[in-house]
Structure 1
Amino acid sequence: MPLVDIKLIEGVFSEEEIKKLIKDVTDVVVSFMGEDLRSYTLVVVQEVKSGSWGVGGQAIGLEEVRAIQAGTSKKP
């Protein structure tokens, strides 16, 4: 059975956006594996506490993600 595990920084996406993500990811998996596996496809979304996520050796949080989304972050 397909299992997709998605980790996100807490607060980046709304509940509605997470629901859409789950639906859309399921649709992609089914497009590859066949419609019969839809009811067996598991998508788990885990939110990680802001600041408990590291990229390139640096902890980042919600503020940094918002800057990336806005295109205003300073890239290393």
Structure 2
Amino acid sequence: MPLIQVKVIENVFTPDQKQQIIRRLTDTMVEIEGENMRPVTWCVLEEVASGDWAIAGNPLTSADVRALAAGVNA
């Protein structure tokens, strides 16, 4: 059965935004695989602790991601 796994840094997305991510990704997968697969399409959203996610060896914090989303150079 399809499993969609999403990892985000904690305290970046609101509960409503996380639900929207889950719904939209599930809808997109169902568009591809067919509506009959919706009941068995799983989506897991996991939060990674702030600072435990790194790009090019540089840890990112929740504040870094919020600044990036706001268009502020961190």
TM range (shorter): over 0.9
Q: How many residues align?
A: 74
Find the aligned partners of 1:52 and 1:62 in 2 and give their Cα distance: 10
- The code of the aligned residue for 2:27 comes to D
Corresponding residue of 1:42: 42
The 4+ residue runs of structure 1 with deviation greater than 3 A are: none
Secondary structure at the residue paired with 2:20?
A: helix
- Structure 2 residue runs of 5 or longer lacking an equivalent are none
After superposition, residues 1-76 of structure 1 pair within 5 angstroms as 1-74=1-74
- Output the TM-score relative to the length of structure 1: 0.93
| Superposed displacement of residue 26, structure 1 | 0.4
Q: Percent identity?
A: 38
Secondary structure at the residue paired with 1:45?
A: strand
Find the aligned partners of 2:73 and 2:56 in 1 and give their Cα distance: 14
